[in-house]
Structure 1
Amino acid sequence: MYALKNTNKPDEIIPANYKAVHYIGGGAAMFGVPENKEIQTLVMTIYEQHDGIVSSVCHGTAGIVNLKTREGNYLFKNKVVSGYPDSFEKQDAEYFRHFPFLIQKTLENRGAVFKFSPRNKAHVEVDGKLITGQNYLSSREVALKIIENLNEGKK
């Protein structure tokens, strides 16, 4: 509870102090995060100005759908990404009716190449400094890929 009450706001974070940003999954990641301009600016500053990594797992991939480079292109344009596939959603469930967008469809419509594996299998895509995983089973491998990428940057 202490950490929740004392979490830094985006404008309190110094981008130069970070080398990676990770968007965690869960349906709540669909609300408030993707459209937050302060978070977008912070993440892209870490990515572009500090050679940082942007990563996500499962529904956390919703957090990257609006990220744009300085040139105005989507971060993931022409890159291979993963996340929770639209076809795996329970489209007749109450929660689904409240989703503001579909992750896979939005990414693909904006130029991403979306890949995934069968349900309940880990699947990770690494495209440069963009590291994405299909589901919670992919979390460990995404974390290891982040560490590997960070260690390569030290060489």
Structure 2
Amino acid sequence: MSAKNKILVIVTNTEEYEKVGMRTGLWLGELTHFWDHAEQAGFSMDIASPSGGMIPIDPESLAHDVLADLGTERRYRDREFMNLLDDTKRVSDVDLEDYDAIYLTGGHGVMFDFPRSDPLESLIARFYESGRVVSAVCHGPCGLLNVTLSSGEPLVKDKDVTGFSWPEEEAARRAEAVPYSLQDELRKLGARYSTARKPFETHVVEDGRLITGQNPGSARGVAEAVVKQLQPA
């Protein structure tokens, strides 16, 4: 596989929870923190979503203190960058051969549409089985839950992974709103799930070409791990 120096970023189309009236969507920093590091390393990126089109942003990710973290506010003020979320590619229209890696962002919206997207599950499996890097952060690993390899085994079976933990759901006051516990679902599939010592501490797990981060603060660490795999010293 020849290097393309290009990464496919997947974001949610879901703008609200199903059981409660709260709004959700992409957690903006999980896009910007990854994007900034990968771009600095010389990679270009495309953004796709299960349905394509306009991407909702979780309103809590736009709070002033959150935007100030790692330069997210600079991206939020950047008209050209934010326009990338106005009309995203549909996952089913993506050409695998254009990319070296895939990165699944989070935000609670992905808990709903990522595991329900057959084209996304198929694309992730093809990324992995063609020797490409598969990465995800926070709730992004929800997109791995229904991914089955050609062997018939779940992608995450017997893999070291992480993702947003149940204690973090409780701390975020979303335990009654979410449709399932990501950490429990990963374990049910046979994944070796781990967390940081304390909720919301940075935690990145690598298992070969599968790279996962636990929470929003782990997005840059995931980017660093992806870049390191794609550009080994």
Which secondary structure does the structure 2 equivalent of 1:96 belong to?
A: coil
Q: Gaps (5+ residues) in structure 2?
A: 1-81
Whether the 8 Å CA contact 1:16–1:46 is kept in 2: the answer is no
Which of 193, 209, 213 aligns to 1:114? It is 193
TM-score when scaled to structure 1?
A: 0.89
Letter of the 2:182 partner, please give it: I
What is the percentage of aligned positions where both structures have the same residue?
32
Q: Where does 1:31-110 land on structure 2 (aligned, <5 Å)?
A: 31-49=112-130, 51-90=131-170, 93=173, 95-110=174-189
Whether the 8 Å CA contact 2:162–2:194 is kept in 1: the answer is yes
Which secondary structure does the structure 1 equivalent of 2:109 belong to?
A: helix
1-structure distance, mates of 2:177, 2:202: 26
RMSD between aligned alpha carbons? 1.9
Which secondary structure does the structure 1 equivalent of 2:179 belong to?
A: coil
Q: CA deviation at 1:86?
A: 1.4
2-structure distance, mates of 1:10, 1:61: 16
Whether the 8 Å CA contact 1:91–1:97 is kept in 2: the answer is no
Which residue of structure 1 lines up, in the alignment, with residue 33 of structure 2? none
Whose radius of gyration is greater, 1 or 2? 2
Letter of the 1:130 partner, please give it: L
How many residues get paired?
Answer: 151
Q: Gaps (5+ residues) in structure 1?
A: none
2-structure distance, mates of 1:86, 1:37: 26
* Structure 1, 74-83 or 95-104: larger mean CA deviation: 95-104
Whether the 8 Å CA contact 1:122–1:134 is kept in 2: the answer is yes
Which secondary structure does the structure 2 equivalent of 1:61 belong to?
A: helix
Which residue of structure 1 lines up, in the alignment, with residue 35 of structure 2? none
2-structure distance, mates of 1:120, 1:92: 10
Q: CA deviation at 1:91?
A: 8.0
2-structure distance, mates of 1:101, 1:72: 24
Q: CA deviation at 1:6?
A: 2.7
> Which string of whole-angstrom CA distances, capped at 9 and with x for unpartnered residues, describes residues 52-75 of structure 1?
111111111211111111111111
Which residue of structure 1 lines up, in the alignment, with residue 75 of structure 2? none
Moved over 3 A (4+): none
Which secondary structure does the structure 1 equivalent of 2:103 belong to?
A: strand
The answer to which structure has the higher helix fraction is 1
Q: CA deviation at 1:38?
A: 0.6
Letter of the 1:103 partner, please give it: L
1-structure distance, mates of 2:206, 2:200: 19
Whether the 8 Å CA contact 2:195–2:214 is kept in 1: the answer is yes
Whether the 8 Å CA contact 2:205–2:213 is kept in 1: the answer is yes
Answering whether residue 100 of structure 2 is matched by residue 23 of structure 1, we say no
Which residue of structure 2 lines up, in the alignment, with residue 6 of structure 1? 87
Tell me: CA distance 1:92–1:22, structure 2 relative to 1, closer, same or farther (3 Å): closer
